[in-house]
Chains A and B, each alone.
Chain A
Amino acid sequence: MADLTIDNLHVGFASREGMVRAVDGIDLSIKPGQVVGLVGESGSGKSVTCNSILQLLPSPPARFGPGRIDWSGKDLLSQKERTMQQIRGKEISMIFQDPMSSLNPYLPVVDQVAEPLIIHKICSPDVAKEKALEMLGKVGVAHVQKFPRSYPHEFSGGMRQRAMIAMALITQPNLLLADEPTTALDVTVQAKVLAIIKELCIDLQVGVLFVSHDLGLVAELADRVVVMYRGKVVEENETKSIFRNPQHPYVKALIACRPTLESPKDYLPTVEDFMGEKQTPLPPLPSESIQARPVSSTPLIQTRQLVVEFQTDDAPLLAVDHVDISIEQGTTLGLVGESGSGKTTLGRTLLNLVKKSQGEVLFKGKAIDSASFAKTNALRKSMQIIFQDPYASLNPRLTIEQTLIEPMVVHKIVDSKKDRLEKVVSLLQEVGLGEEHLHRYPHEFSGGQRQRICVARALTTEPELIICDECVSAMDVSVQAQVLNLLKSLQASRGLTYLFISHDLSVVKFMSEHIAVMQNGRVIENGSADQIYNHPKMEYTSKLIEAIPKANRSLHLSF
């Protein structure tokens, strides 16, 4: 019997304010060869559940109480640490989110993959190494055969995650726990990794608990889906039934708030709409549409044969290779491509955060370079950027008020102290926050709220162009919908121009009128969003579109 049965599990964390309930009585069971998806937003308790199975939570502060986690007749919650060590990696394995940091950089990959076999005394070190090579071959890490001494830094993110899968499966465990294993990966890589997990688990009859915030992604491979919300299971069913006939409003919201390639272009439903909670107020869309705005003949920003070169030890690396893009005032250009394609560098070069090597950047038809940035602050004022990680991009030692007032002081935008404060408050209201948030520090906010603050900060200088650099990529789908809606409504009310950088094509499709596809520093395809999606010219573009999880499509559903 290698079933996992979680029965009425409760997990709490002791904090200064008393017990915080993270998992509040959930039931779950996984049979061999079955893939169970555990879905929920951050803070819903899904990772805590996953980590509780292997007793990986530090206790204290974690407290387990009432409930059982039943594994082959044993209650895992009451096992000693030594017994758990026998189970970890041998009977139950785990894959983590970040393949960059979950491999030891000082050991060859093969040795690390072989290690579980040696530790659990399954076979001798020599045999273990052979088996490791074989396993790495199975997950598609081919070049290890040629270079058996390669280290993690010589692997790409996707290859590292494959190596992690090999390491987890090499002992032929009965259960695999996968905690957001593809969240840090590009869409194309994600599709491959998912396929590998699915194939191997059916092959080896391994049960899988697949934890993710993305319902669409889980639908790609799970047989059953369990949806968690605030520590409780709100719905559990066969994958198809969940999509066809969601019962709980939260599940309905999760299905609806992910932008699909077909979704209408104005507004994404959010969880709040479905849960009937207080909705973050957004300014109403102005009656005049973007198209009605007088379009000036010169694009707001344009590049001509832009080249950015980085010096490396071997040869100069062309991060941006003779790129021509242009964005009309009030429109959005979506920039897509895998990591390393140069899209982030391109965005930063426009802002002069990275120096260009050749070519021209034109702002309102006038060529600009680093000297024009140095001469006048006007350029800085009119171009802003929103980063991927809102927490890292806010100074942790400044309150929100200080963060928002500083740009106005530097650029002498509003003179009197009172007016500045008024403007800060109105900006906060514009992004859906309020006066009560003024004196708080960044760590006191949720991820979505922090990104709203970053948006407000970008707006302090009243820019015309905002570069959104993967600005929703690290977010849960439900939060992502809110931020995307905010950006859309700000564009409508302020006539903003966006360069929207993302690896997620469905998000880019939702946001942009035009799309440019980048690969290895070059723009390989450029055109209107519909044209790119419906008639991609390049194979690479079709590959990117193909890789988007299309739960709705594959299940022949319509919403």
Chain B
Amino acid sequence: MSTHRSSSLSKDAWSRLVANKMAIASLIMLFFISMLCLFGPLLSSHSFDQQNLDKVFQAPSIDHPLGTDSLGRDLFARTTYGGRISLMVGLLATLVSLIIGVTYGMASGYAGGKIDAWMMRFVDVLYSLPFIIFVILLMVLFGRNFLLLFLAIGAVEWLTMARITRAQTITLKKAEFIEAARALGFSHWRILFHHLLPNLIGPIIIYATLTVPAVMLLEAALSFLGLGVQAPMSSWGSLIQEGAEKMDAAPWLLLFPGFLFCLTLFALNFLGDGLRDALDPKHTKG
């Protein structure tokens, strides 16, 4: 039964997504960028951390297609290598914050009353912790660790997600179809995940596509503090930061990582819009 249902729903959604040209173009673009980041470092004849102090700040050339940085490292290798980390952090941390935030927000909004009040006060407390102090605290406790990056970002990003989901849940739970589901004797679990969640998907997807760039930039800020990505490793965030500092001397240092970053975000946003529409049955026949 359940397999039949999910397959028909996802088939519908897929056919609607395919009909959306922008979304499909974005999907292809994202796939292309991921492939570039996955295999780019292998294609380059230079390694991402190989320094060459004779060839600093070189403009793009045949040997170095995107030029070199202040230590003579190949920018192409560094950008594609950094893409791996940025994409991974951006998508994984968003996914983590989605899972925690949506579950927490739905539970809080659906339960209502005192439980809701307490759960939301807890969110407020976490909101009020200064982020930097929180990160330093984590570093003191656990030492430098790449996993901490996810933990720190996840711990911050799910809060807004939870609030958005809670607000939507509260509006929706008064809808008559939820009351109808209660009158039919459905369990809370079923109402939450089968009736509420699919109707929350629109705002959730939109917020998630906004979270991805926020997370990628946050990662750059954290790397600057010494948490997460450390030189000679790179990420788009840290490359853009470095490029911004040396903009007058070597504009390509900002241009290329920035371009790839923007392209990814555009594609994610269009894909998010497309997904939202595809998952909404009202968009079937105009």
Contacts and interface: CB of A to CB of B under 8 A. Distances in A.
B180 A396 contact: no
Interface stretch (A222-230, A361-369, A407-415, A534-542): A407-415
A410 B284 contact: no
Interface stretch (A190-198, A260-268, A382-390): A382-390
A486 interface: no
A150 interface: no
Nearest to B180: A393
A241 interface: no
Contact of A409 (B1, B175, B180, B183): B1
Interface string A358-386: 00000000000000000001001101110
Contacts of B177: 392-396
Contact of B180 (A16, A443, A457): A457
Contacts of A387: 176, 179-180
Contact of A384 (B183, B195, B198, B284): B183
A381 B286 contact: no
A406 B8 CA distance: 15
Interface stretch (B78-86, B184-192, B257-265): B184-192
Interface in B164-222: 175-177, 179-187, 190, 194-195, 198-199
B283 to A, nearest CB: 10
Contacts of B114: none
A387 to B, nearest CB: 5
Contacts of B280: 397
A299 to B, nearest CB: 21
B184 A397 contact: no
A443 B280 CA distance: 11
Nearest to B282: A443
Contacts of B187: 410
A288 interface: no
B226 interface: no
Contacts of B281: 396-397, 399, 441, 443
Contacts of A381: 185
B66 to A, nearest CB: 45
A233 B194 CA distance: 46
Contact of B199 (A396, A402, A407, A444): A396
A386 B257 CA distance: 58
B176 A392 contact: yes
A375 to B, nearest CB: 12
A397 B199 contact: yes
A212 to B, nearest CB: 25
Interface string A429-471: 0000000000101011000000000100100110000000000
B279 to A, nearest CB: 8
A392 B177 CA distance: 6
Interface string A1-25: 0000000000000011100000000
A182 to B, nearest CB: 23
A351 B8 CA distance: 33
A353 B183 contact: yes
Interface residues of B, number: 28
Contacts of B8: 399, 439
Contact of A17 (B1, B176, B179, B286): B286
Given A353-B182, A396-B281, A410 B5 contact: no
B265 to A, nearest CB: 28
Contacts of B286: 15-17
B176 A389 contact: yes
* Interface SS of A by simple majority: loop
Contacts of A385: 180, 183
Q: Specify which of A15, A17, A380 lies most central, judged by the most chain B CB atoms within 10 Å of its CB.
A: A380
Nearest to B197: A397
Q: Specify which of B4, B177, B195, B198 lies most central, judged by the most chain A CB atoms within 10 Å of its CB.
A: B177
B9 to A, nearest CB: 8
Contacts of B194: 406
Interface string B268-286: 0000000000011110111
B1 A417 contact: yes
Contacts of A409: 1
Contacts of A383: 183
A532 B5 CA distance: 50
Contact of A402 (B5, B185, B282): B5
A17 B176 CA distance: 32
Nearest to B2: A409
A15 B185 CA distance: 41
Contacts of A460: 184
Nearest to B182: A353
B282 A396 contact: yes
Given A387-B179, A393-B177, A410 B1 contact: no
B282 A380 contact: no
Contacts of A380: 183-185
Given A16-B286, A441-B281, A441-B282, A395 B199 contact: yes
Interface in B68-84: none
A405 B2 CA distance: 11
B185 A411 contact: yes
Contacts of B5: 402
A15 B285 CA distance: 11
A20 to B, nearest CB: 11
Contacts of B185: 377, 380-381, 407, 410-411, 461
Contacts of A353: 179, 182-183
User: Ordered nearest first, which 4 A-B pairs have the shortest CB separation?
Assistant: A380-B185, A393-B176, A16-B286, A441-B281
19 contacts: A15-B286, A17-B286, A381-B185, A387-B176, A387-B179, A392-B175, A395-B177, A395-B198, A399-B8, A406-B184, A407-B185, A407-B186, A410-B184, A410-B185, A439-B8, A444-B284, A457-B180, A457-B184, A460-B184
Given A381-B185, A393-B176, A407-B185, 12 more contacts: A384-B183, A393-B177, A395-B199, A396-B281, A396-B282, A397-B281, A399-B8, A406-B184, A407-B184, A457-B180, A457-B184, A460-B184
